[in-house]
Amino acid sequence: MSYPTPLPTPLYQGSVNTWECDDGGHLNIRFHMERAFTGLAHMARALELPHAFTENAGSTLIAQEAHVRFIKEARPGAPLIMHGGVVEMGESDATLCFDMRHHDGAPGTAFTFKVRHVETRGLRSFPWSARSRDAAKKLKCKLPEHAKPRSIDVNQPIADASLANAATIGVQRIGGALVYPDQCDPLGRLRGEHFVGRISDSVPNLLAPWRQAAASDGVQPAGAVVEGRFVFRKFPRAGELIEVHSGIAEIGEKTLRIVHWLLDPESGIAWASMEAVALTFDVNTRKALTPSPEARGRVSKLVAPGLRP
């Protein structure tokens, strides 16, 4: 089988460690995102931003949004390589694509990042240099078909996510966490993959009834996200608190559309938010499960129509 030509520049390259895999036996979503942020650092170098993610950098790239398609699961030992390109570049922002594939060229995970070029300390946007613009021309690419949104509207306006609005809408608290120093970047801000990690750790508290209903007749259920949109709003520092408040926006035939708000319980503001399309599958057969009417009934009580990231 032939696959699309890789994007212009190589970024991350490595393999899947067993300890990075979850109960589904495949690479956990936080480690997909860890690789994406590694790709972002390599892309900064390709855009002529030297040492962009070090403490003494003059400028860096900051993620505003990330759209992700999970196309083919990555299991322990799987070699992976990521290539990237510039889809669009504005005065001080850009849309970048990171396409992570398996050793045979099969698409694995496709990331589309909206980023800003900012000064390192205050994160204020400022224009790209002529050198970066010249580099971007060589990295120009079209968004691959397998990277394009399928079940998520990435142009939908984001919600006014806050602790007060979470209480009004009725989304439930499913997680509470603390930001540790080793989870932060050289500038003291929480690294991107740990936002997603807090969701991954917390979501079983939301979906336990759904998965328990599927655990019958030898079926071993586990969850998988097939597509997601992540919105970065503010970056907490070591010692700050995170609460995860989540709700189900829609129940499909085999999928759930879930929205997560990562909130600061001290101020009530949002650190980040995520919309995810997820399914439950049988670990033994690797096939998606169709929930029973009983499971749908249990989870329907958690539905909050119109919930947005």
Q: Where in the chain is the domain with CATH 3.10.129.10?
A: 1-148, 151-309
pLDDT tens digits, one per residue of 241-298: 999 999 999 988 889 999 999 999 999 999 999 999 999 888 889 988 887 777 777 7
Q: What does the alpha-carbon distance between residue 190 and residue 235 come to, in Å, rounded to a whole number?
A: 6
**pLDDT computed for residue 300 by the predictor:** 78
Q: What is the pLDDT of residues 181-202, one digit of tens each?
A: 999 999 899 999 999 999 999 9
Q: Which residue has the tokens 């655990």?
A: 215
Q: What is the pLDDT of residue 254?
A: 87
Instruction: Indicate whether 29 pLDDT > 90.
Output: yes
pLDDT of residue 201: 96
- For the residues 203-231, what does the mean pLDDT come to? 83
Mean pLDDT, all residues of the chain: 93
Average pLDDT over residues 135-153: 97
3-state per-residue secondary structure call for the chain = CCCCCCCCEEEEEEECCHHHECCCCCECHHHHHHHHHHHHHHHHHHCCCCCCCCCCCCEEEEEEEEEEEECCCCCCCCEEEEEEEEEEECCCEEEEEEEEEECCCCEEEEEEEEEEEEECCCCCECCCCHHHHHHHHHCECCCCHHHCCCCCCCCCCCCCCCHHHHHHHCCEEEEEEECCHHHECCCCEECHHHHHHHHHHHCHHHHHHHHHHHCCCCCCEEEEEEEEEEEECCCCECCCEEEEEEEEEEECCCEEEEEEEEECCCCCCEEEEEEEEEEEEECCCCCECCCCHHHHHHHHCCECCCCCC
- Over residues 127-135, the mean pLDDT reads 98
Q: Does domain 1-148 have CATH number 3.40.640.10?
A: no
Proportion of the chain above pLDDT 70, given as a percent:
98
Report pLDDT digits (tens) over 39-98. Answer: 999 999 999 999 999 999 989 999 999 999 999 999 999 999 999 999 999 999 999 999
The residue-averaged pLDDT of 108-131 equals 96
Q: Which residue has the higher pLDDT, 304 or 87?
A: 87
pLDDT attached to residue 93 = 98
Kindly give, in sequence order, each residue whose CB lies less than 8 Å from that of residue 229, ignoring residues fewer than 6 positions away.
Answer: 65, 66, 67, 68, 152, 154, 274, 275, 276, 309
Q: Answer whether residue 141 shows pLDDT above 70.
A: yes
Structural contact between residues 59 and 52, judged by C-beta atoms closer than 8 angstroms: yes
| pLDDT, average across residues 202-224 | 79
For range 196-225, the mean pLDDT: 83
Please state the pTM of the whole predicted model.
Answer: 0.95
Copy the structure tokens of residue 66. 């990330």
Q: Where does 151-309 sit in CATH, by number?
A: 3.10.129.10
